[in-house]
Structure 1
Amino acid sequence: MTEPNPAPLVDVHEALHAAQVVVFALATLAELRDSDTESHLIRVQQYVRALCGELQKNPAYADTLTPAYVETLAGSVPMYDMGTVGIPDRILLKPGRLTPDEIAIMRTHTTLGHDALVRAEKTLGRASPLLTVAKELALCHQEKWDGTGYPKGLWAEQIPLSARIVALADVFDALISNKVYKDGVSHDRAVQIITEGRGAHFDPAVVDAFLEVHEVFRSIAVRHADTNADMQQKIEYMANAIAEVAVL
Protein backbone atom coordinates (compact mmCIF):
# COMPACT_ATOMS: atom_id res chain seq x y z
CA MET A 1 0.00 0.00 0.00
CA THR A 2 1.45 3.30 -1.07
CA GLU A 3 1.85 5.83 1.69
CA PRO A 4 0.24 9.20 0.89
CA ASN A 5 2.65 11.97 0.15
CA PRO A 6 3.22 14.06 3.28
CA ALA A 7 2.01 17.64 3.18
CA PRO A 8 4.84 19.95 2.17
CA LEU A 9 6.46 21.78 5.03
CA VAL A 10 5.69 25.50 5.15
CA ASP A 11 8.80 27.65 5.04
CA VAL A 12 8.29 30.12 7.90
CA HIS A 13 10.33 32.85 6.24
CA GLU A 14 8.48 32.42 2.96
CA ALA A 15 5.12 32.51 4.76
CA LEU A 16 6.15 35.70 6.55
CA HIS A 17 7.24 37.26 3.27
CA ALA A 18 3.94 36.31 1.65
CA ALA A 19 2.04 37.92 4.52
CA GLN A 20 4.11 41.09 4.16
CA VAL A 21 3.38 41.19 0.43
CA VAL A 22 -0.35 40.90 1.07
CA VAL A 23 -0.25 43.68 3.69
CA PHE A 24 1.68 45.96 1.35
CA ALA A 25 -0.66 45.21 -1.55
CA LEU A 26 -3.73 46.05 0.54
CA ALA A 27 -2.02 49.19 1.82
CA THR A 28 -1.25 50.37 -1.71
CA LEU A 29 -4.93 50.00 -2.56
CA ALA A 30 -5.70 52.34 0.33
CA GLU A 31 -3.05 54.78 -0.90
CA LEU A 32 -4.57 54.67 -4.38
CA ARG A 33 -7.77 56.16 -2.96
CA ASP A 34 -5.83 58.97 -1.30
CA SER A 35 -3.43 61.43 -2.88
CA ASP A 36 -0.32 59.28 -2.37
CA THR A 37 1.46 56.62 -4.40
CA GLU A 38 2.84 53.28 -3.26
CA SER A 39 6.33 54.81 -3.33
CA HIS A 40 5.18 56.96 -0.42
CA LEU A 41 5.02 53.87 1.79
CA ILE A 42 8.52 52.78 0.82
CA ARG A 43 9.88 56.25 1.55
CA VAL A 44 8.17 56.45 4.95
CA GLN A 45 9.48 53.01 5.89
CA GLN A 46 13.01 54.10 5.09
CA TYR A 47 12.65 57.45 6.86
CA VAL A 48 11.49 55.52 9.93
CA ARG A 49 14.56 53.28 9.81
CA ALA A 50 16.81 56.33 9.54
CA LEU A 51 15.13 58.02 12.52
CA CYS A 52 15.34 54.86 14.61
CA GLY A 53 19.01 54.45 13.80
CA GLU A 54 19.71 57.93 15.13
CA LEU A 55 17.38 57.66 18.13
CA GLN A 56 19.12 54.46 19.19
CA LYS A 57 22.07 56.65 20.14
CA ASN A 58 19.89 58.37 22.73
CA PRO A 59 19.98 56.43 26.03
CA ALA A 60 16.33 57.30 26.66
CA TYR A 61 15.29 55.30 23.57
CA ALA A 62 18.01 52.67 23.20
CA ASP A 63 16.25 50.01 25.28
CA THR A 64 13.00 50.35 23.34
CA LEU A 65 14.44 50.61 19.84
CA THR A 66 15.85 47.10 19.65
CA PRO A 67 16.50 45.61 16.20
CA ALA A 68 13.35 43.48 16.56
CA TYR A 69 11.23 46.51 17.50
CA VAL A 70 12.57 48.56 14.58
CA GLU A 71 11.76 45.75 12.16
CA THR A 72 8.24 45.48 13.57
CA LEU A 73 7.76 49.23 13.34
CA ALA A 74 9.01 49.45 9.76
CA GLY A 75 6.90 46.45 8.80
CA SER A 76 3.82 48.07 10.34
CA VAL A 77 4.15 51.33 8.39
CA PRO A 78 1.94 50.19 5.48
CA MET A 79 -0.99 49.83 7.90
CA TYR A 80 -0.88 53.25 9.54
CA ASP A 81 -3.32 54.93 7.13
CA MET A 82 -5.49 51.89 6.36
CA GLY A 83 -8.56 53.56 7.87
CA THR A 84 -8.82 55.88 4.86
CA VAL A 85 -10.55 53.03 2.99
CA GLY A 86 -13.60 53.83 5.12
CA ILE A 87 -13.73 57.50 4.13
CA PRO A 88 -16.12 58.39 1.26
CA ASP A 89 -14.52 59.56 -1.99
CA ARG A 90 -16.54 62.79 -1.87
CA ILE A 91 -14.49 63.74 1.21
CA LEU A 92 -11.20 61.94 0.64
CA LEU A 93 -10.81 63.30 -2.89
CA LYS A 94 -12.43 66.71 -2.44
CA PRO A 95 -10.12 69.27 -4.10
CA GLY A 96 -11.33 72.21 -2.01
CA ARG A 97 -11.44 72.97 1.69
CA LEU A 98 -13.38 70.50 3.83
CA THR A 99 -16.34 71.64 5.90
CA PRO A 100 -16.27 71.08 9.69
CA ASP A 101 -18.56 68.06 9.27
CA GLU A 102 -16.32 66.62 6.54
CA ILE A 103 -13.24 67.17 8.70
CA ALA A 104 -14.90 65.24 11.51
CA ILE A 105 -15.60 62.34 9.15
CA MET A 106 -12.06 62.47 7.73
CA ARG A 107 -10.60 62.24 11.22
CA THR A 108 -12.40 58.97 11.85
CA HIS A 109 -9.84 57.20 9.63
CA THR A 110 -7.68 56.79 12.73
CA THR A 111 -10.32 54.91 14.72
CA LEU A 112 -11.56 53.02 11.64
CA GLY A 113 -8.12 51.53 11.01
CA HIS A 114 -7.48 50.71 14.66
CA ASP A 115 -10.92 49.20 15.23
CA ALA A 116 -10.66 47.05 12.09
CA LEU A 117 -7.50 45.43 13.45
CA VAL A 118 -9.09 44.89 16.87
CA ARG A 119 -12.21 43.33 15.33
CA ALA A 120 -10.10 41.05 13.14
CA GLU A 121 -8.18 39.83 16.18
CA LYS A 122 -11.42 39.09 18.04
CA THR A 123 -12.92 37.32 15.05
CA LEU A 124 -9.86 35.09 14.72
CA GLY A 125 -9.81 34.30 18.41
CA ARG A 126 -6.91 36.16 19.97
CA ALA A 127 -4.89 39.35 19.96
CA SER A 128 -1.50 39.29 18.24
CA PRO A 129 1.46 40.94 19.99
CA LEU A 130 2.93 41.57 16.54
CA LEU A 131 0.00 43.91 15.75
CA THR A 132 0.43 46.10 18.83
CA VAL A 133 2.56 48.59 16.91
CA ALA A 134 0.24 48.55 13.90
CA LYS A 135 -2.70 49.42 16.15
CA GLU A 136 -0.69 52.24 17.75
CA LEU A 137 0.15 53.69 14.35
CA ALA A 138 -3.38 53.46 12.98
CA LEU A 139 -4.88 55.16 16.04
CA CYS A 140 -2.21 57.69 17.03
CA HIS A 141 -0.32 58.89 13.93
CA GLN A 142 -2.32 62.15 13.93
CA GLU A 143 -1.68 62.95 17.59
CA LYS A 144 0.60 65.93 18.31
CA TRP A 145 3.19 66.47 21.03
CA ASP A 146 1.32 69.51 22.41
CA GLY A 147 -2.01 67.68 22.68
CA THR A 148 -3.76 69.36 19.75
CA GLY A 149 -3.96 66.26 17.58
CA TYR A 150 -6.63 63.60 17.26
CA PRO A 151 -8.51 61.34 17.92
CA LYS A 152 -7.77 61.42 21.67
CA GLY A 153 -5.79 64.62 22.17
CA LEU A 154 -2.85 62.71 23.63
CA TRP A 155 0.21 64.75 24.44
CA ALA A 156 3.96 64.22 24.93
CA GLU A 157 4.86 60.69 25.99
CA GLN A 158 1.21 59.67 26.21
CA ILE A 159 1.61 59.21 22.46
CA PRO A 160 3.29 55.87 21.64
CA LEU A 161 6.87 56.26 20.44
CA SER A 162 5.99 54.39 17.25
CA ALA A 163 3.39 57.01 16.33
CA ARG A 164 5.69 59.92 17.22
CA ILE A 165 8.31 58.59 14.82
CA VAL A 166 5.91 57.84 11.96
CA ALA A 167 4.15 61.21 12.38
CA LEU A 168 7.33 63.08 11.49
CA ALA A 169 8.21 60.74 8.61
CA ASP A 170 4.70 61.03 7.19
CA VAL A 171 4.53 64.82 7.41
CA PHE A 172 7.97 65.21 5.84
CA ASP A 173 6.94 63.08 2.88
CA ALA A 174 3.64 64.91 2.51
CA LEU A 175 5.52 68.22 2.42
CA ILE A 176 8.03 67.30 -0.29
CA SER A 177 5.76 65.17 -2.49
CA ASN A 178 3.99 66.47 -5.56
CA LYS A 179 0.26 65.85 -5.40
CA VAL A 180 -2.34 65.95 -8.13
CA TYR A 181 -3.55 69.26 -6.68
CA LYS A 182 -0.29 70.85 -5.46
CA ASP A 183 3.48 70.81 -5.79
CA GLY A 184 5.70 69.72 -2.94
CA VAL A 185 8.03 72.12 -1.14
CA SER A 186 11.82 71.97 -1.32
CA HIS A 187 13.82 69.74 1.02
CA ASP A 188 15.20 72.77 2.86
CA ARG A 189 11.73 74.25 3.36
CA ALA A 190 10.47 70.90 4.67
CA VAL A 191 13.34 70.80 7.16
CA GLN A 192 12.41 74.32 8.29
CA ILE A 193 8.75 73.38 8.78
CA ILE A 194 9.64 70.24 10.75
CA THR A 195 12.02 72.28 12.91
CA GLU A 196 9.31 74.86 13.59
CA GLY A 197 7.07 72.02 14.76
CA ARG A 198 9.55 70.88 17.43
CA GLY A 199 7.74 70.66 20.76
CA ALA A 200 4.38 71.49 19.15
CA HIS A 201 3.53 68.96 16.45
CA PHE A 202 6.54 66.71 17.00
CA ASP A 203 8.48 65.06 19.81
CA PRO A 204 11.58 67.26 20.32
CA ALA A 205 13.85 64.20 20.49
CA VAL A 206 12.51 62.88 17.20
CA VAL A 207 13.05 66.28 15.56
CA ASP A 208 16.62 66.38 16.90
CA ALA A 209 17.24 62.93 15.41
CA PHE A 210 15.73 64.09 12.12
CA LEU A 211 18.06 67.09 11.96
CA GLU A 212 21.01 64.72 12.24
CA VAL A 213 19.82 62.53 9.35
CA HIS A 214 17.81 64.89 7.15
CA GLU A 215 20.31 64.44 4.31
CA VAL A 216 19.56 60.72 4.47
CA PHE A 217 15.88 61.66 4.05
CA ARG A 218 16.84 63.70 0.99
CA SER A 219 18.61 60.74 -0.61
CA ILE A 220 15.71 58.39 0.18
CA ALA A 221 13.26 60.83 -1.43
CA VAL A 222 15.39 61.02 -4.58
CA ARG A 223 15.99 57.27 -4.78
CA HIS A 224 12.30 56.41 -4.38
CA ALA A 225 10.73 59.39 -6.09
CA ASP A 226 7.31 59.01 -7.68
CA THR A 227 7.55 58.18 -11.38
CA ASN A 228 5.54 59.74 -14.16
CA ALA A 229 3.60 56.48 -14.35
CA ASP A 230 2.79 56.74 -10.63
CA MET A 231 1.41 60.23 -11.05
CA GLN A 232 -0.52 59.38 -14.20
CA GLN A 233 -2.18 56.46 -12.42
CA LYS A 234 -3.09 58.76 -9.57
CA ILE A 235 -4.50 61.43 -11.88
CA GLU A 236 -6.61 58.90 -13.77
CA TYR A 237 -7.96 57.32 -10.59
CA MET A 238 -8.86 60.65 -9.01
CA ALA A 239 -10.48 61.93 -12.22
CA ASN A 240 -12.63 58.80 -12.51
CA ALA A 241 -13.56 58.85 -8.82
CA ILE A 242 -14.51 62.52 -8.88
CA ALA A 243 -16.57 61.97 -12.03
CA GLU A 244 -18.46 59.12 -10.30
CA VAL A 245 -19.15 61.32 -7.28
CA ALA A 246 -20.43 64.10 -9.53
CA VAL A 247 -22.86 61.69 -11.22
CA LEU A 248 -24.19 60.56 -7.84
Structure 2
Amino acid sequence: MIKALCEQLSNTEPYSNILSDAYIKELFDTAPLHDIGKVGIPDSILLKPGKLTFEEFEIMKQHTTYGINALKYEVAEDRIPSFVKTAIECIGGHHEKYDGSGYPKGLKGEEIPLPGRLMAIVDVYDALISKRVYKPAFKHEEALLLIKTEKGKHFDPSLVDAFLAIEEQIKEIAIKYTQE
Protein backbone atom coordinates (compact mmCIF):
# COMPACT_ATOMS: atom_id res chain seq x y z
CA MET A 1 0.00 0.00 0.00
CA ILE A 2 2.80 2.40 0.83
CA LYS A 3 4.43 1.73 -2.53
CA ALA A 4 1.17 2.38 -4.39
CA LEU A 5 0.60 5.59 -2.42
CA CYS A 6 4.15 6.79 -3.12
CA GLU A 7 3.83 6.00 -6.82
CA GLN A 8 0.60 8.00 -6.96
CA LEU A 9 2.18 10.93 -5.14
CA SER A 10 5.28 10.85 -7.35
CA ASN A 11 3.11 12.17 -10.19
CA THR A 12 2.29 15.38 -8.29
CA GLU A 13 4.16 18.38 -6.92
CA PRO A 14 6.04 18.65 -4.62
CA TYR A 15 6.41 14.89 -4.37
CA SER A 16 7.68 14.35 -7.91
CA ASN A 17 10.97 15.89 -6.79
CA ILE A 18 11.12 13.81 -3.59
CA LEU A 19 9.76 10.37 -4.43
CA SER A 20 12.36 8.90 -6.76
CA ASP A 21 12.20 5.20 -7.59
CA ALA A 22 15.08 4.58 -5.15
CA TYR A 23 13.36 6.49 -2.32
CA ILE A 24 10.05 4.70 -2.97
CA LYS A 25 11.90 1.38 -2.72
CA GLU A 26 13.52 2.51 0.54
CA LEU A 27 10.12 3.51 1.97
CA PHE A 28 8.65 0.18 0.87
CA ASP A 29 11.56 -1.72 2.43
CA THR A 30 11.46 0.18 5.74
CA ALA A 31 7.67 0.30 6.23
CA PRO A 32 7.48 -3.18 7.83
CA LEU A 33 9.70 -1.86 10.65
CA HIS A 34 7.16 0.77 11.77
CA ASP A 35 6.01 -1.28 14.78
CA ILE A 36 9.31 -3.00 15.63
CA GLY A 37 9.25 -1.32 19.05
CA LYS A 38 6.23 -3.41 20.04
CA VAL A 39 8.70 -6.15 20.99
CA GLY A 40 9.21 -4.08 24.16
CA ILE A 41 5.51 -3.97 25.04
CA PRO A 42 4.13 -6.70 27.35
CA ASP A 43 1.86 -9.26 25.69
CA SER A 44 -0.77 -8.51 28.33
CA ILE A 45 -1.16 -5.10 26.68
CA LEU A 46 -0.55 -6.09 23.05
CA LEU A 47 -3.07 -8.93 23.18
CA LYS A 48 -5.63 -7.40 25.51
CA PRO A 49 -9.10 -8.11 24.12
CA GLY A 50 -10.64 -4.88 25.38
CA LYS A 51 -9.91 -1.18 25.51
CA LEU A 52 -6.59 -0.22 27.07
CA THR A 53 -6.59 1.76 30.30
CA PHE A 54 -4.89 5.16 30.32
CA GLU A 55 -1.82 3.61 31.94
CA GLU A 56 -1.70 0.73 29.45
CA PHE A 57 -2.00 3.16 26.53
CA GLU A 58 0.88 5.22 27.93
CA ILE A 59 2.98 2.05 27.90
CA MET A 60 1.78 1.17 24.37
CA LYS A 61 2.81 4.61 23.11
CA GLN A 62 6.39 3.82 24.09
CA HIS A 63 6.70 1.41 21.16
CA THR A 64 7.71 4.30 18.89
CA THR A 65 10.57 5.27 21.20
CA TYR A 66 11.63 1.65 21.64
CA GLY A 67 11.72 1.24 17.86
CA ILE A 68 13.74 4.40 17.32
CA ASN A 69 16.20 3.42 20.04
CA ALA A 70 16.63 -0.04 18.52
CA LEU A 71 17.91 1.54 15.31
CA LYS A 72 19.89 4.47 16.74
CA TYR A 73 23.51 4.70 15.79
CA GLU A 74 26.17 6.17 18.04
CA VAL A 75 27.73 8.05 15.12
CA ALA A 76 27.41 11.49 13.61
CA GLU A 77 24.01 12.16 12.01
CA ASP A 78 25.54 12.40 8.53
CA ARG A 79 27.03 8.90 8.89
CA ILE A 80 23.74 7.10 9.59
CA PRO A 81 22.75 5.04 6.53
CA SER A 82 19.80 6.42 4.56
CA PHE A 83 17.78 3.23 5.10
CA VAL A 84 18.11 3.60 8.88
CA LYS A 85 17.19 7.31 8.79
CA THR A 86 14.09 6.52 6.75
CA ALA A 87 13.10 3.67 9.08
CA ILE A 88 13.53 5.94 12.13
CA GLU A 89 11.35 8.63 10.49
CA CYS A 90 8.70 6.00 9.72
CA ILE A 91 8.80 4.53 13.24
CA GLY A 92 8.88 7.87 15.03
CA GLY A 93 6.29 9.59 12.87
CA HIS A 94 3.56 7.04 12.21
CA HIS A 95 1.58 8.02 15.34
CA GLU A 96 2.04 11.75 14.96
CA LYS A 97 -1.08 13.54 13.76
CA TYR A 98 -1.27 16.32 11.22
CA ASP A 99 -3.01 18.59 13.74
CA GLY A 100 -0.25 18.09 16.33
CA SER A 101 -2.23 15.86 18.70
CA GLY A 102 -0.20 12.69 18.11
CA TYR A 103 2.82 11.14 19.78
CA PRO A 104 5.68 10.78 20.66
CA LYS A 105 6.62 14.44 20.02
CA GLY A 106 3.34 16.15 19.11
CA LEU A 107 4.69 17.19 15.71
CA LYS A 108 2.33 19.08 13.41
CA GLY A 109 1.87 19.21 9.64
CA GLU A 110 5.07 18.94 7.67
CA GLU A 111 7.13 18.86 10.87
CA ILE A 112 6.24 15.18 10.67
CA PRO A 113 8.73 13.52 8.31
CA LEU A 114 7.16 12.26 5.10
CA PRO A 115 7.79 8.57 5.94
CA GLY A 116 5.78 9.01 9.15
CA ARG A 117 2.92 10.81 7.38
CA LEU A 118 2.78 8.08 4.73
CA MET A 119 2.91 5.24 7.26
CA ALA A 120 0.21 6.87 9.39
CA ILE A 121 -2.46 6.60 6.72
CA VAL A 122 -1.46 3.12 5.59
CA ASP A 123 -1.16 1.84 9.18
CA VAL A 124 -4.58 3.17 10.19
CA TYR A 125 -6.25 1.78 7.08
CA ASP A 126 -4.63 -1.62 7.65
CA ALA A 127 -5.58 -1.61 11.35
CA LEU A 128 -9.17 -0.73 10.50
CA ILE A 129 -9.68 -3.46 7.89
CA SER A 130 -7.91 -6.11 9.96
CA LYS A 131 -9.55 -8.18 12.68
CA ARG A 132 -7.88 -7.68 16.05
CA VAL A 133 -8.38 -9.35 19.43
CA TYR A 134 -10.18 -6.18 20.53
CA LYS A 135 -12.30 -5.45 17.41
CA PRO A 136 -13.78 -6.92 14.24
CA ALA A 137 -12.49 -5.90 10.81
CA PHE A 138 -14.07 -2.84 9.20
CA LYS A 139 -15.25 -2.93 5.60
CA HIS A 140 -13.12 -1.05 3.06
CA GLU A 141 -15.78 1.64 2.67
CA GLU A 142 -16.00 2.19 6.44
CA ALA A 143 -12.22 2.57 6.67
CA LEU A 144 -12.22 5.09 3.82
CA LEU A 145 -14.95 7.12 5.50
CA LEU A 146 -12.92 7.35 8.69
CA ILE A 147 -9.81 8.40 6.74
CA LYS A 148 -11.84 11.08 4.94
CA THR A 149 -13.15 12.47 8.23
CA GLU A 150 -9.59 12.63 9.60
CA LYS A 151 -8.24 14.61 6.63
CA GLY A 152 -6.35 17.61 8.01
CA LYS A 153 -6.70 16.29 11.57
CA HIS A 154 -4.93 12.94 11.77
CA PHE A 155 -3.72 12.84 8.17
CA ASP A 156 -1.93 15.09 5.71
CA PRO A 157 -4.66 16.31 3.31
CA SER A 158 -2.56 15.76 0.18
CA LEU A 159 -1.85 12.17 1.24
CA VAL A 160 -5.54 11.52 1.87
CA ASP A 161 -6.36 12.83 -1.62
CA ALA A 162 -3.73 10.55 -3.17
CA PHE A 163 -4.91 7.58 -1.10
CA LEU A 164 -8.51 8.12 -2.18
CA ALA A 165 -7.45 8.50 -5.82
CA ILE A 166 -6.13 4.93 -5.74
CA GLU A 167 -8.66 3.45 -3.33
CA GLU A 168 -9.54 0.59 -5.70
CA GLN A 169 -5.87 -0.35 -5.94
CA ILE A 170 -5.60 -0.13 -2.15
CA LYS A 171 -8.64 -2.40 -1.81
CA GLU A 172 -7.08 -4.96 -4.19
CA ILE A 173 -3.83 -4.94 -2.23
CA ALA A 174 -5.75 -5.36 1.03
CA ILE A 175 -7.68 -8.33 -0.34
CA LYS A 176 -4.49 -9.93 -1.65
CA TYR A 177 -2.66 -9.64 1.68
CA THR A 178 -5.48 -9.93 4.23
CA GLN A 179 -4.70 -12.47 6.91
CA GLU A 180 -7.59 -14.59 7.98
Structure 2 length-normalised TM: 0.94
Deviation at 1:59, TM superposition (A): 1.4
Q: Which has the larger helix fraction? A: 1
Q: What do the CA deviations read for 1:112-161 (whole angstroms, capped 9, x no partner)?
A: 1001100xx339xx622221100111111100000000000000000001
Partner residue, 1:146: 99
**1:1-248 pair list within 5 angstroms:** 47-118=1-72, 121-122=73-74, 127-227=80-180
Aligned AA (1:65): L
Distance in 2, Cα, partners of 1:185 & 1:96: 17
Gaps of 5+ in 2: none
8 A contact 2:47–2:133 mirrored in 1: no
Distance in 1, Cα, partners of 2:108 & 2:145: 22
Deviation at 1:96, TM superposition (A): 2.1
Q: What do the CA deviations read for 1:210-245 (whole angstroms, capped 9, x no partner)?
A: 110000011111112214xxxxxxxxxxxxxxxxxx
Distance in 1, Cα, partners of 2:134 & 2:59: 21
Larger Rg belongs to: 1
Over aligned residue pairs, what C-alpha RMSD do you find? 1.3
Distance in 2, Cα, partners of 1:67 & 1:60: 15
Q: What do the CA deviations read for 1:19-76 (whole angstroms, capped 9, x no partner)?
A: xxxxxxxxxxxxxxxxxxxxxxxxxxxx101111111121111111011100000000
Number of residue-to-residue matches in the alignment = 177
Q: Secondary structure at the match of 1:179?
A: coil
Distance in 1, Cα, partners of 2:177 & 2:31: 16
Paired-residue identity, %: 45
Aligned AA (1:57): N
Q: What do the CA deviations read for 1:58-100 (whole angstroms, capped 9, x no partner)?
A: 1111111011100000000111100000011122222222222
Structure 1 length-normalised TM: 0.69
